[in-house]
Structure 1
């Protein structure tokens, strides 16, 4: 194969595919990126056997062909080449030559036939989501994805459709301490789709790619695989084989104490008082009084901190504690200038949202303080 390509174009494509490649691999071919040169330009592919990305980029192809080279090494080479350089790639006899200006590189290759490809099978459910809606789904839920490998069924975003009372697509993530859920209008074609859990790594790679999509993202899925068509790039992933818990049971409906406040000043106050919290006791105590909240932290090693934040509250005074980082993660997702905190008592789950019509809602379990 032989092709010439502009450095910036090649760098952008390699940046997308190389991030799927794991740094440590017991199977050498999985450290490589597959490069195919043809009439449509260059096709780059990388996989970790669970996630696969294919990206097509423009290039002047003199001779078609395919080979695989170490992904991170090639990315680092192209990244260090001078801006505006024309990169010439040519592969033959187990080597790939890279020429750009006065720079010359020779990389060892592995045969294209050894490169594994994820078999998608039938993907019967197909629909399109606006890139902005998919971005919102990811940004407002992924912070709550569990990192606990033993509860593997929580290591992703749960997608399912519902009719309540209008057809909607819901996305949820939880780690057992907090829950995030986003509801968007159900796209045409999503009716009857199976409930699926999209893995954390797929979510992270998808989020990087969405920013380069202006219109819609094509979504195709079955009960075991999902594919996202992002124009120049196609991301295919295996789904998590597990049952997501019935999270609707933990969303409180009878929390009768309402606190309204400015999310920015509330988050800043929590951030300031939690400065002295030790990692073990990341708890911040909220003392709710009429039209104000007193935030406080007590640390045996560091001392105490307190701050008063104005808020709209007229129910019975009481105290409740939360993990400061979890609380700030949720407040960080609130876009407006008002947040509603629905409380019941010091031990019950707390509901947080912008207002009763907002697409996103959050549930946070309190801590004993």
Structure 2
């Protein structure tokens, strides 16, 4: 194999694929990236056996071929080469070593055979649809912060994506929860998503997709089976296993009878929560909200360091209420709100609170209170 290409093109593709590779691997081939040269393109592929990313980039092919080399090592080498340089990758006759040359720099990397590299893309996909990148980005951005990191409840370690019938419309809905808060967002269901199975996309896959959907002009091809999801974003193809589990009936935790309405200015509220939570301990990040007659008083009391109080004007005309929340959870939610104002629908100090964005996008949040 011998191939020459722009350093910037190679770095961009390596940046996308090398993140999948775990730094510590008991299986040597999983530390490597597969390089396949042919038809005027260099294809790069990396996998951790649960997630696989493939990307092709234009290249001048001197000799077609394929090999695998350490992913993080190749990425670090290319990253440190000068801007605007060209890189030549070539293997020796036995395919046991690959030379990386650019200007006066030359490196030699050990190779492992291409035939040892695992393939995750086998299998057929029962459903496929096209989704504009901004819509996919919105679904992920509004929900990913609520994904659980608790490994024992593995079925909560991802975003639940499914279709749901509304009033004469079909919506594609994303939901995430960790038991303390729940985030839900939806868009109009695209053609081809009808009848798709409800799937749980793992946290690592969600994080990688989130980094790749920045281009608002992009349309993402989504293909789904019971066990896998494949996303095609331009020259990048990502295939991932799904979480094999049943997502709980989240509808049961969304309160329907909350009748106390508080309207807040999102930015003002977030800054106030951030300021008073400075005094809270890492263990107990509770902030108390006392609401009465259009005024909100935020209070944090930490026996080890002191207390903090801040007052805000809010829209509230119901009976006075004291309720406590985890300050970090409040900030996580307010950071997702697209509008300048949000509505808190409250019931009592022990019941979950419903939070709506006034911007009009179909996202809602449920937050469990804390004892204060």
Matches of 2:316 and 2:37, distance apart in 1 = 65
Count of residue pairs brought into register by the alignment: 369
Residue 191 of structure 1 aligns to a residue in which SS? coil
Q: Deviations over 1:195-245 (max 9, x none)?
A: 100000000111111114623100001010000000110000000000000
Deviation, 1:357, is 4.8
Q: Deviations over 1:182-202 (max 9, x none)?
A: 011000000000010000000
Does structure 2 conserve the Cα–Cα contact (< 8 Å) formed by 1:213 and 1:231? Answer: no
> Residue 210 of structure 2 is aligned with which of 207, 212, 218?
207
Correspondence for 2:163 = 161
Deviation, 1:180, is 0.2
Correspondence for 1:337 = 340
After superposition, where does 1:286-325 map in structure 2 within 5 Å? 286-325=289-328
Matches of 2:359 and 2:91, distance apart in 1 = 60
Matches of 2:360 and 2:103, distance apart in 1 = 58
Matches of 1:184 and 1:162, distance apart in 2 = 10
After superposition, where does 1:106-117 map in structure 2 within 5 Å? 106-117=108-119
Matches of 1:128 and 1:285, distance apart in 2 = 45
Residue 321 of structure 1 aligns to a residue in which SS? strand
Does structure 1 conserve the Cα–Cα contact (< 8 Å) formed by 2:161 and 2:173? Answer: yes
Correspondence for 1:99 = 101
After superposition, where does 1:1-369 map in structure 2 within 5 Å? 1-92=1-92, 93=94, 94-165=96-167, 166-212=169-215, 214-355=217-358, 357-369=360-372
Matches of 1:235 and 1:214, distance apart in 2 = 19
Residue 316 of structure 1 aligns to a residue in which SS? coil
Deviation, 1:356, is 9.3
Residue 336 of structure 2 aligns to a residue in which SS? coil
Matches of 2:326 and 2:119, distance apart in 1 = 43
Deviation, 1:119, is 3.8
Relative to the length of structure 2, the TM-score reads 0.98
Unaligned runs of 5+ in 1: none
Find runs of 4+ consecutive structure 1 residues off by over 6 angstroms: none
Matches of 2:130 and 2:281, distance apart in 1 = 46
Matches of 1:267 and 1:200, distance apart in 2 = 26
Q: Deviations over 1:110-160 (max 9, x none)?
A: 000000011431101000111000000111100000000000000000001
Unaligned runs of 5+ in 2: none
Does structure 1 conserve the Cα–Cα contact (< 8 Å) formed by 2:340 and 2:359? Answer: no
Does structure 2 conserve the Cα–Cα contact (< 8 Å) formed by 1:213 and 1:230? Answer: no
Does structure 2 conserve the Cα–Cα contact (< 8 Å) formed by 1:120 and 1:225? Answer: no
Q: Deviations over 1:61-117 (max 9, x none)?
A: 010000000000000000000000100000122000011000000000000000001
Matches of 1:195 and 1:104, distance apart in 2 = 50
